[in-house]
Structure 1
């Protein structure tokens, strides 16, 4: 899968349960922008906050709804291998196109332990597996040597999402894995890395602003691949300036939810699961200003199509 793959937030009702109707409305809006896939229950989708049954109920409704519209990846990782396998088999049966699997967190693991976790999952399922490296939340990186060994040993381990601050890490993973397998896909995450990672050979971007301003990422991706460098410069600066989103709230997915509501449900309030609260009263106004800035800059103009 190549292109822009938004890691969608999970919208909940006043009781903190996934609001199925509202989530369908949101994904329809994102799809209209021309994105190339979606990630459900990633970090932005709050995968640690829901019970296994809540995840299954949500996915049982949303995956079939998306079938035939575009490829879907699902976050199934966690700290318990058996639960990761259980949820991965569940989404495999539902027809998901792949799973995005974070390495176990809380305790740091040895290289061998990380390898065993993914190896046991790969042996238990047939669906495509994408590793998920997000050291600022898991406490440690997935070592490049482990990625290489997994890619050599298991055909269904197909790629990795790199949510890292260093473009050097992304470059290293791309270069090292290219020598192992041509069909191993590397995805960047932070918005300001979209351009550099594409030039270096990344398969796509799973970036935060694409959840509420998908047009911007899609237009930048298209401009890069059309060698439209004047638009690449304009759009790269615009998307990079939106990295401030990640500093608005300690739980940055809350900022993303406010932006989603500012864009598509402006008259409604965001619901959150306890203990997560929005104690930053100006989040909605900040999100609204960010969105209006892009829309006024011409992100919808025909010249970007």
Structure 2
């Protein structure tokens, strides 16, 4: 599948830059967006787990989405921006979608509902509710945070003219293979891989793209893996090792605070602030991250502060 597809190629699940008051700030994202464009990244995913979407009020994100969409399309003509609008319940999900659509993203992204235990028909109804907007959407399977999507539910959604595919971050190879089988006869519906340790194996199995969180800090390795996986096995495997290895930053501080701290330390975002109740890195954590990243300095974007 071509990188022209909204889920094709390398999609970076972008961090959400915040100003000193904690509001999303697209101007502060400009250096990072420029660096990602220079690395030839194909697309962005906004407000996912790396983008702290669940912690940010929907009405605070509309201007950020619109500004990032405009900037990215200017920096990467033909590039795509997808926006996660997931929420535990359907009403909140639809409200988030309304705000996101003001920014004219290329597609929306929605997980199954969360918090409670839901029947399959309830999961399908929640996802299908987004179709009222008549806008392209993808399903996001992330069992760590939401009800697990099943191949049966994905298959039931294939009659939708608005479904463009799904992102799988389950880390379950058998489930991933089952999702690929469901869409095997649909060249318009893409399956992407979000698990950093499974990127190369997913592409070899038939994935249309990859969505690795560590591509925020090492986009070149992600692009290299995607571009070379079918033509240069050794280079692709080396890139996979780099990307999987970079997940070690989360052993020092899990998730967004580590990524934002690194990006701020390298001059790519104005503040390292995560959304409350997450706290920014302390100096000890930053020093530990610097030390653990030293072996991969050549792979990282930006330049570390003195």
TM-score, normalised on structure 1?
A: 0.88
Cα distance in 2 between the residues matched to 1:283 and 1:166: 31
Which residue is equivalent to 1:196?
Answer: 201
Aligned partner of 1:277 among 273, 276, 279: 279
Q: Residues 214-240 of structure 1: CA distance to partner in whole angstroms, max 9, x if unpaired?
A: 011011111113x11221222222222
Deviation at 1:94, TM superposition (A): 3.0
Aligned partner of 1:169 among 168, 175, 195: 175
CA contact (8 A) 1:258 1:283 kept: no
Aligned partner of 2:47 among 41, 44, 52: 41
Question: Residues 47-126 of structure 1 correspond to what in structure 2 (within 5 A)?
Answer: 47-68=53-74, 69=76, 70-122=79-131, 124-126=132-134
SS class of match (2:82): strand
**In the superposition, relative to structure 1, how do residues 167 and 247 fare at CA in structure 2: closer, same or farther (>3 Å)?**
farther
Aligned partner of 1:141 among 141, 144, 148: 148
Which residue is equivalent to 1:302?
Answer: none
Aligned partner of 2:290 among 272, 285, 288: 288
Cα distance in 2 between the residues matched to 1:269 and 1:120: 36
Cα root mean square deviation, aligned: 2.4
CA contact (8 A) 2:109 2:137 kept: yes
Deviation at 1:100, TM superposition (A): 1.2
Deviation at 1:134, TM superposition (A): 0.7
Deviation at 1:285, TM superposition (A): 3.0
- Corresponding pairs, count: 293
Deviation at 1:121, TM superposition (A): 1.4
**In the superposition, relative to structure 1, how do residues 190 and 245 fare at CA in structure 2: closer, same or farther (>3 Å)?**
farther
CA contact (8 A) 1:213 1:291 kept: no
Which residue is equivalent to 2:304?
Answer: none
Deviation at 1:61, TM superposition (A): 2.4
TM-score, normalised on structure 2?
A: 0.87
Cα distance in 2 between the residues matched to 1:32 and 1:260: 16
Deviation at 1:3, TM superposition (A): 0.7
Deviation at 1:198, TM superposition (A): 0.3
**In the superposition, relative to structure 1, how do residues 25 and 121 fare at CA in structure 2: closer, same or farther (>3 Å)?**
same
Which residue is equivalent to 1:247?
Answer: 251
